[in-house]
């Protein structure tokens, strides 16, 4: 593959990101790799995001701007996937930014349009741009790929910090759910990929933005976690039964995170969601050894999750929990 002629598409869902949008777009336009297009999809923003997008489109032919009614980031990404023309595609969230050499580094580690390369990410700006920039692991076996994306530092099931070959999304699209759509198809993505390369480089800065959907207080949208879990388990049962216990562990961890968020909100939907997730976790953990003990005492679990919610967003603490509860312990 002639890397100089390779065309890269970068899809950016945008929602009320006027405070950080210029920084995000500039980080893409300033890439050392220049042969790319930027597809900006506004998701019904109520601030000046779309006006900012249009200015960039007018000033740089590589930037395209579109707007849809508020439908969630999955729908935005699907709009981008229907129109992108690159050999490879990347997703960047509109309040984040990427290192100026990220596309070049990831592209160097891709041999075909059926592969994926990913870097590390962090909310700690001091970590950004650090690392050897070398591949620390490559996988071509489904179970190994799952274990690797859930290692500390990597973005797990999130779509960001990854460069995908176009064949990955030749037919695959994000499901029509308002949250957790990225996790819902994460297994399909790994199953399609011929090879996944993991690069030791903190090339993606993930900004904690209280306005983003995933960081808002618990709402009806969080109920889509049950649809996400259903999609993941059904896909695994039908296509990779050897990975079922690992995927159950992933679903448990996802549920634990949402239960943790529920402890921060004294609303009826938060209380209801907590109880439903606890019930599901008791079922999912039945054959997972000691893990089932976590869910035996509801009160102790709720207290522990409430304490965890105060420290979880620290990178160091989060990575410790990834190691303790991670899929690599089975």
- 260, 224 Cβ separation under 8 angstroms: no
* Per-residue pLDDT tens listing for the chain (330 residues): 566 689 999 999 999 999 999 999 999 999 999 999 999 999 999 999 999 999 999 999 999 999 999 999 999 999 999 999 999 999 999 999 999 999 999 999 999 999 999 999 999 999 999 999 999 999 999 999 999 998 889 999 999 999 999 999 999 999 999 899 999 999 999 999 999 999 999 999 998 654 444 445 799 999 999 999 999 999 999 999 999 999 999 999 999 999 999 999 889 999 999 999 999 999 999 999 999 999 999 999 999 999 888 776 666 655 555 555 556 554
What is the domain partition of the chain in residue ranges?
Answer: 3-205, 216-322
CATH architecture of 3-205: Alpha-Beta Complex (3.90)
For residue 114, give the 3-state DSSP assignment.
Answer: coil
**What's the pLDDT at 312?**
63
**What's the pLDDT at 228?**
98
Strands 63-68 and 115-122: unpaired
- 13, 94 Cβ separation under 8 angstroms: yes
What is the C-alpha radius of gyration for the chain, rounded to an integer number of angstroms? 19
pTM of the model: 0.91
Cα separation, 53 vs 66, in Å, equals 9
For 179, 219, 258, 274, the CA distances from 222, given in Å and listed in that order, are: 7, 6, 8, 11
- 233, 240 Cβ separation under 8 angstroms: no
């Amino acid at each position: 593959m002639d890397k100089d002629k390779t065309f890269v598409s970068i899809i950016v869902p945008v929602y009320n990101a006027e405070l950080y949008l210029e920084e995000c777009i500039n980080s893409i336009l300033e890439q050392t790799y220049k042969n790319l297009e930027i597809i900006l999809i506004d998701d019904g923003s109520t601030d000046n995001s779309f006006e900012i997008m249009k200015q960039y489109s007018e000033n740089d032919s590589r930037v395209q701007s579109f707007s849809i009614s508020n439908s969630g980031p999955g729908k935005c990404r699907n709009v981008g996937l229907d129109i992108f023309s690159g050999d490879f595609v990347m997703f960047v969230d509109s309040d984040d930014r990427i290192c100026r050499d990220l596309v070049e580094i990831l592209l160097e580690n891709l041999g075909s349009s059926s592969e994926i390369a990913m870097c590390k990410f962090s909310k700690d700006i001091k970590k950004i741009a650090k690392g050897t920039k070398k591949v620390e692991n490559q996988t071509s076996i489904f179970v190994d790929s799952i274990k690797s994306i859930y290692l500390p530092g990597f973005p797990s099931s999130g779509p960001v910090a990854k460069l995908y070959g176009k064949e990955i999304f030749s037919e695959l699209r994000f499901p029509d759910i308002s949250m957790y759509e990225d996790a819902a198809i994460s297994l399909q993505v790994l199953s399609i990929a011929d090879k996944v390369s993991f690069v030791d480089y903190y090339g993606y800065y993930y900004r904690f933005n209280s306005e983003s959907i995933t960081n808002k207080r618990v709402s009806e949208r969080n109920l889509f976690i049950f649809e996400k879990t259903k999609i993941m388990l059904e896909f695994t049962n039908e296509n990779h039964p050897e990975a079922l216990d690992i995927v159950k562990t992933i679903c448990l961890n996802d549920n634990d995170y949402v239960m943790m968020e529920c402890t921060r909100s004294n609303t009826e939907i938060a209380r209801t969601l907590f109880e439903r997730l606890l019930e599901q976790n008791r079922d999912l953990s039945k054959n997972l050894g000691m893990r089932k003990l976590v869910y035996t005492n509801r009160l102790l679990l709720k207290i522990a999750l409430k304490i965890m919610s105060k420290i979880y967003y620290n990178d160091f603490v989060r990575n410790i929990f990834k190691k303790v509860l991670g899929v690599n312990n089975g």
